[in-house]
């Protein structure tokens, strides 16, 4: 199906420390490969437990062109399925959130229970075996109220990620949160250009005036600021409050609690909290940001007063959907304790600005004169990490496949 020799050759053309050859950013065949070798192999962040509070709540998503469902079953456990009827393949649940007692295919009403078992199929012949036609499962895991899926038969080990990130994330009490705002944005750019953009703040000073107010622009690896005394004092204060700071990291994930710029409590236009009801009580919510990120497609910032999630969903070789969600404490009252527009302002503006940058980058890599340049080791360390990870993951897939 894939021309592995060509893909391997492109991967080999990449110079260490440099951006990728153009075809890896704009070729339809590479996009198809990425969907299979990356998005169908690795853990993808999809959202939060509180989006699926009760048995029967489901969330429909599309990975590339492949529809999946996450559903809370009768026992309260989250399960995932390929969202395709075992009869003629029709999509069973709509994309987005819903609630249903059973999963009923809209075409011929084949009906599955919440564990994926086929419990009704009308007019079928005597030798038809319903037990052989359950929905096909996908893997679902959760970490302190956040949800991840994997479409691989054998996913990368998840335990270390959960074990090491839980202590950093659990204090933010996501099981007592709610979605306050969600937004989607389509960027006419390859998903890797979207993620490279999302992995550095080298462009923030000039391009993100709102974000630059509170974001430590000189941050290097793990978004840790260089100003050692400042960071040390922050870390000591967090320790006193019982909050671990990390950093912790694995092959495809990383997490750290880091301080915002001096005097600022959250990422807002004035550094002051956006929500009156904090998610975390320690130091009045002045706990910096607990940022965690997964390759290939997410990063999130948990502040004292709210949480921001960014996930990227490829739609085509040069088109990516960005899904953003903002969470607040479940008891915070919209219009009283927080203003949704203000809550989302900094990151909405940042996302709009990044869309322009990504689309411009995409146009430029089509240039016959495009030559991958060197990343700044200091300012683009996490881009380097992402691109290195991508090349390794792609190469490993090819080795395993042939």
**Site residues, its own copies (CB under 8 A):** 19, 22, 40, 62-63, 65-68, 81-92, 106-109, 122-125, 128, 133, 135-136, 138, 151, 196, 202-203, 206-207, 357, 360-361, 363-379
**What does the alpha-carbon distance between residue 129 and residue 106 come to, in Å, rounded to a whole number?**
21
User: Is the Cβ of residue 140 or residue 245 nearer to its own copies in the bound state?
Assistant: 140
User: Is the Cβ of residue 54 or residue 127 nearer to its own copies in the bound state?
Assistant: 127
User: Is the Cβ of residue 27 or residue 295 nearer to its own copies in the bound state?
Assistant: 27
User: Is the Cβ of residue 32 or residue 339 nearer to its own copies in the bound state?
Assistant: 32
- Classified as helix, coil or strand, 401 is helix
Q: Cα 127 vs. chain centroid, distance in angstroms?
A: 44
Minimum distance of its own copies from residue 67's CB (angstroms): 6
Minimum distance of its own copies from residue 117's CB (angstroms): 15
- Please name the residues in contact with 84: beta carbons below 8 A apart, sequence gap of 6 or more: 67, 90, 91, 92, 136
User: Is the Cβ of residue 218 or residue 334 nearer to its own copies in the bound state?
Assistant: 218
Q: Are 341 and 201 in contact (CB under 8 A)?
A: no
Strand order in the sheet with 177-187: 177-187, 319-329, 307-316, 298-302, 289-294, 253-258, 248-250
Minimum distance of its own copies from residue 339's CB (angstroms): 31
User: Is the Cβ of residue 207 or residue 385 nearer to its own copies in the bound state?
Assistant: 207
- Classified as helix, coil or strand, 141 is strand
**What does the alpha-carbon distance between residue 88 and residue 141 come to, in Å, rounded to a whole number?**
29
Minimum distance of its own copies from residue 295's CB (angstroms): 18
Q: Are 255 and 247 in contact (CB under 8 A)?
A: yes
Minimum distance of its own copies from residue 91's CB (angstroms): 4
Q: Pairing mode, if any, of strands 66-72 and 78-82?
A: antiparallel
Minimum distance of its own copies from residue 161's CB (angstroms): 23
Q: Are 118 and 132 in contact (CB under 8 A)?
A: no
- Classified as helix, coil or strand, 104 is strand
**What does the alpha-carbon distance between residue 256 and residue 220 come to, in Å, rounded to a whole number?**
12
User: Is the Cβ of residue 235 or residue 381 nearer to its own copies in the bound state?
Assistant: 381
Minimum distance of its own copies from residue 75's CB (angstroms): 23
């Amino acid at each position: 199906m894939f021309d592995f020799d060509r893909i391997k050759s492109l991967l080999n053309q990449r110079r260490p420390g440099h951006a990728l050859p153009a075809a890896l950013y704009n070729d339809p065949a590479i996009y198809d490969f990425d969907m299979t070798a990356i998005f169908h192999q690795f853990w993808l962040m999809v959202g939060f437990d509180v989006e699926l509070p009760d048995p029967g709540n489901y969330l429909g998503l599309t990975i590339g062109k492949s529809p999946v469902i996450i559903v809370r079953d009768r026992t309260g456990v989250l399960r995932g399925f390929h969202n395709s009827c075992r009869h003629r393949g029709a999509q069973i649940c709509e994309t987005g959130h819903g609630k249903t007692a059973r999963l009923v295919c809209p075409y011929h009403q084949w009906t599955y229970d919440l564990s994926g078992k086929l419990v009704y199929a009308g007019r079928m012949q005597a030798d038809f075996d319903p037990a052989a036609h359950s929905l096909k499962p996908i893997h679902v895991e959760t970490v302190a109220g956040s949800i991840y899926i994997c479409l691989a038969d054998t996913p990368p080990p998840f335990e270390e990620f959960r074990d090491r990130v839980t202590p950093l994330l659990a204090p933010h009490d996501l099981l007592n949160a709610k979605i306050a705002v969600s937004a989607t944005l389509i960027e006419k750019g390859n998903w890797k250009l979207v993620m490279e953009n999302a992995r550095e703040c080298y462009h923030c000073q000039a391009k993100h005036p709102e974000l630059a107010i509170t974001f430590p622009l000189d941050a290097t690896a793990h978004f840790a600021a260089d100003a050692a005394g400042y960071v040390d004092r922050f870390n000591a204060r967090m320790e006193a409050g019982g909050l671990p700071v990390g950093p912790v990291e694995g092959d495809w994930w990383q997490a750290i609690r880091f301080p915002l710029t001096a005097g600022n409590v959250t990422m807002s236009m004035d550094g002051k909290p956006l929500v009156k009801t904090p998610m975390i009580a320690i130091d009045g919510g002045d706990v910096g940001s607990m940022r965690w990120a997964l390759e290939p497609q997410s990063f999130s910032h948990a502040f004292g007063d709210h949480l921001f999630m960014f996930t990227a969903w490829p739609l085509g070789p040069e088109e990516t959907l960005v899904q953003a969600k903002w969470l607040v404490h479940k008891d915070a009252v919209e219009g009283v304790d927080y203003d949704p527009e203000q809550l989302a302002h900094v990151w909405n503006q940042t996302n709009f600005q990044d869309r322009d940058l990504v689309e411009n980058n995409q146009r430029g890599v089509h240039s016959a004169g495009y030559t991958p340049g060197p990343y700044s080791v200091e300012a683009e360390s996490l881009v380097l990490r992402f691109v290195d990870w991508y090349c390794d993951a792609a190469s490993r897939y090819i080795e395993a496949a042939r």
